[in-house]
Amino acid sequence: MRLVLLGPPGVGKGTQGRRLAAEKGWALISTGEMLRDAASKGSPMGLEARRQMDAGLLVADDVMIGLVRERTSQPDACSGFVLDGFPRTVPQADALDAMLDERGMRLDAVLYLTAPEEELVTRLTGRLECPVCKRAYHRVNAPSRDGVHCDDHVSAALIERADDVEDTARKRLEVFRMQTSPLAEYYRRTGRLVEVPGVGSVDAVYGRMRQVLDARQPTIG
């Protein structure tokens, strides 16, 4: 299955996408993670991307489309993938359809996770991330066992993302409203969008997503 997780910053795309991909054996493709990785390696593209990310702005469409074209053609993505963070603009969505079409494939579903804005700010400003496996924790909602290290990488101290400070988090939410939320209508028009409330426990949200996907499975190749 080829799936897009659409939704504002902090709604749980990474948390849910990681679990779904692991359970189903699909590749998890997180464009935010790919950019942070490129930035940490200091490539010119990565450093330019970091400037945009730190300002809460989007990275250029052509850069993102090139990255996703390359990543989705890798062998681990053949049996299916979950896209977390892509597409984020209408040109990116058009490019995704075109690149899948070239390969005789199509996007099976777009799950649109939603939550109230103040809840999103609370989630973002309390998030901690494992630098090794990128698993997201939350200082209050989902702390690790000792609150400091990753449960799965006990020597890795959890870190805060630079773009999770409140001002930047709010800027990212505004950018989502202006540039990414129109994609909901884009996918609704073509019958691919399913809205899933992203509030409640992580397990409750995951259960809703599974219900939607299980119901669509018979129609999906």
Q: Is 202 in the site for ligand AP5 (CB under 6 A)?
A: yes
**Contact, 49 vs 106, CB < 8 A?**
no
Least Cβ distance, residue 217 to ligand AP5 (angstroms):
23
Least Cβ distance, residue 218 to ligand AP5 (angstroms):
28
Q: Which residue of the set 36, 50, 71, 88 is catalytic?
A: 88
DSSP 3-state assignment of 164?
A: helix
E strand map for 102-210:
109-114, 127-129, 136-138, 193-197
- Of 44 and 221, the one with the shorter C-beta distance to ligand AP5 is 44
Identify how many contiguous H helices and E strands the chain contains and give both numbers. 9, 7
- Of 62 and 185, the one with the shorter C-beta distance to ligand AP5 is 62
Distance (Å) of CA 75 to CA 26, 72, 85, 100: 11, 8, 21, 15
Element (H, E) at 189: helix 182-189
Q: Is 144 in the site for ligand AP5 (CB under 6 A)?
A: no
Dihedral sign for Cα atoms in the order 164, 170, 174, 180 = positive
Total number of residues that touch ligand AP5 (CB under 6 A): 36
Catalytic (active site) residue 69: no
Quick one: tokens of 108? 């099976």
Catalytic (active site) residue 88: yes
Least Cβ distance, residue 220 to ligand AP5 (angstroms):
24
Q: Which residue of the set 24, 139, 161, 188 is catalytic?
A: 161
What residue ranges bind ligand AP5 (CB under 6 A)?
7, 9-15, 31-32, 35, 52-53, 56-59, 64, 85-86, 88, 92, 123-124, 126-127, 136-138, 141-142, 163, 172, 201-202, 205
Query: What residues are annotated to the active site?
Result: 13, 88, 127, 161, 172
